[in-house]
Each structure stands twice: as C-alpha cells, then as structure tokens.
Chain A
C-alpha cells in the first residue's frame, strides 16, 4: 500500500501551459515536502509545507497543503522545458520518523 499517492503518473505538455500535480494520502502528515529529480541526479528539495491550508510560492510554482494535512498540490504556471523532471512528494508520518516518498509524477515540457 502506497502511503502517498501521486497523480498523474506521467504528464507531457507544451511550453507555456499550466499544470497541477497531486499528492494524496489517507494519513495525516506533520509536514510534506516536494522534490524535483532530474535524470542521473538525486532529488532536490523545492519546498516544505507545514501548516494545514498553507500556500507557498516559488517563482512559477505554487504549493498548497490541504487543510487536513492529508494532501498537497503543486501548480506550475507557464511551464518551461527546464521544469522537466520527476516531481516527488514526501513526508514524515510523525515526529522523528523517516520520510515516506510517493512514486512521483514524471513531467515533460516540450518546447
């Protein structure tokens, strides 16, 4: 059973389009993190959301943590080819526990 379900699994869009990817769970997380992983590299942390309902913006990326802290979304405005990569959500179930990762959304932005 996957604790963090990410959707869609794959997404291919044209440059300039907007997109949203989702990270859902039946469990409550104390925080959720979003990573981007490029081929041949390790994941790189983009943002951590901690408070239910929290919205964080990172340039063209908007991250939202659900009110109940069971889900999160990542919205990209005007996607660019440089946004291509595997987007992973992860979170600790509680306190001092290791991160649980979703399977990721593989995004391809075509010029």
Chain B
C-alpha cells in the first residue's frame, strides 16, 4: 500500500512569489493534517481536515496561507506571497480518523530566497 505522497519534494522560490504543495493521503484515511517543521524543531500543526471540512485551522496564517481538500481526498497548501521566514519543511500526514495513528509523508522542503 502506498504511503502519503507529497510533491514537490523541494522548492526554491524568491520572496513574494506564490507556491503550492500537494498531498495525497493514504486511501481511506478521513483525516488529513498539514504541519510546519522548522529546522531543529518538532512539527507544528497548521490545519486538520476531517474529510473535506477544515476542523482546526487556528494555527494557519490566513493572510498568506490557504488550503483546500476538495472531495475529501488529496489536498493543496498554498502560500501567497511567500516570505523569507516561510522557509521550512511542510509535512502532510493522514490517519483513519483523529484518534488513530498518523502516517507522515516525506515533506516538501521550501527555501525562500
């Protein structure tokens, strides 16, 4: 069974440019998470979806970040415009539901120049 798929794996952009990350969760997993991981830190939750509904987006900087999970399957996370401080690894994870084990993708490493 395929794990959580993320693309791209690496992205380098200049500040003020837009960027988008894509995540395909494990088939049948209802809950999808986007995390931000800065260097030397643990992951921090940005947004959690139950099917297509965003049930926890309190940590998502809504002035520049947006996310969607159309049809409750794959998801995209967008930053527009990107800032230097957005350089980090963006991890996607999925689980059967909120109480179950989370499976993480390999992440997208974003560098903003």
Contacts of B106 in A (CB 8 A): 40-42
Contact B102 A88 (CB under 8 A): no
Among listed A13-21, A53-61, A70-78, A97-105, interface-contacting one:
A97-105
Whole-angstrom CA separation of A24 from B44 in the bound complex: 18
Chain B binding surface, main DSSP class: loop
Among listed B12-20, B77-85, B91-99, interface-contacting one:
B91-99
Contact A103 B104 (CB under 8 A): no
User: Which residue from B4, B42, B48, B56 sits with its C-beta under 8 Å from A42?
Assistant: B4
**Is the CB of A44 closer than 8 A to any CB of chain B?**
yes
B-contacting residues, A81-111, CB 8 Å = 88, 90, 96, 98-99, 101-104, 106
Chain A residue, CB-CB nearest to B105: A42
**Is the CB of B8 closer than 8 A to any CB of chain A?**
no
Whole-angstrom CA separation of A103 from B91 in the bound complex: 15
**Is the CB of A66 closer than 8 A to any CB of chain B?**
no
Contact B40 A103 (CB under 8 A): yes
Q: What is the interface size of chain A, counting residues whose CB is below 8 A from a CB of the partner?
A: 18
Whole-angstrom CA separation of A101 from B107 in the bound complex: 16
Whole-angstrom CA separation of A43 from B101 in the bound complex: 12
Q: What is the interface size of chain B, counting residues whose CB is below 8 A from a CB of the partner?
A: 21
Contact A42 B104 (CB under 8 A): yes
User: Which residue from A4, A45, A106 sits with its C-beta under 8 Å from B102?
Assistant: A45
**Is the CB of A80 closer than 8 A to any CB of chain B?**
no
B-contacting residues, A1-57, CB 8 Å = 4, 40-45, 48
Task: List 18 contacting pairs A-B, 8 Å CB cutoff, sorted by A.
Answer: A40-B107, A41-B104, A41-B106, A41-B107, A42-B91, A44-B104, A45-B103, A88-B43, A90-B42, A96-B99, A98-B33, A98-B45, A101-B42, A103-B41, A103-B42, A104-B40, A104-B41, A104-B42
Whole-angstrom CA separation of A102 from B42 in the bound complex: 6
